[in-house]
């Protein structure tokens, strides 16, 4: 599978974070689309059908968690894996994770290198898998 054929949606209301993640992913050959809030990302995901989503937790309009619940409920994005980036120490309960496709949670600040590893692993999984509750601090 060529990375260039994989599309990743980055969702964050902080432009500098979007810029850094986009740069790193594009350098690895991924196609990248971006959104600045949860509602914009949800709408975009319904048309673009990304292979993976990297999202912040705290955003205007729809939070990252609220967006992930809606994505999970949509036939189009029900199985799209999500990497959630959160403020240090924030965790979701097993019940909350079960309502979403969040496969990995990472704490800010995070390592771009570590994010690339997580993205690659999730994209190479043979469909589905359990949600990962552990946070990877940089």
Residue written as tokens 């552990």?
134
DSSP 14-27: -HHHHHHHHHHHHH
Give the domain CATH number at 24. 3.40.50.2300
Write out the residue range of the structural domain in which residue 100 sits.
3-136
Start-end of H helices in 29-111: 38-48, 64-73, 94-98
Q: Is 75 left (phi over 0), alpha (psi -120 to 50) or beta?
A: alpha
Sign of CA dihedral 82, 105, 33, 113: negative
| 8-state DSSP, 13 | S
For the segment 98-114, what is each residue's pLDDT rounded down to a tens digit? 899 999 999 888 888 99
Number of domains in the chain: 1
The pTM of this model reads 0.86
What residue ranges of the chain have pLDDT lower than 50?
Answer: 1-2, 126-138
């Amino acid at each position: 599978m060529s990375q260039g054929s994989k599309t990743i949606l980055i969702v964050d209301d902080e432009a500098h974070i979007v810029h850094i993640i986009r740069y790193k992913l594009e350098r690895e050959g991924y196609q990248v689309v971006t959104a600045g809030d949860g509602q914009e990302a949800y709408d975009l995901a319904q048309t673009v059908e990304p292979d993976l989503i990297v999202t912040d937790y705290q955003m205007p309009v729809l939070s990252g968690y609220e967006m992930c619940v809606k994505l999970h409920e949509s036939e189009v994005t029900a199985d799209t894996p999500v990497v959630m980036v959160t403020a240090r120490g924030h965790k979701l309960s097993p019940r909350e994770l079960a309502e979403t496709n969040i496969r990995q949670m990472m704490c800010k600040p995070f390592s771009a290198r570590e994010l690339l590893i997580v993205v690659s692993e999730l994209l190479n999984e043979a469909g589905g898998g359990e949600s990962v509750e552990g946070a990877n601090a940089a």
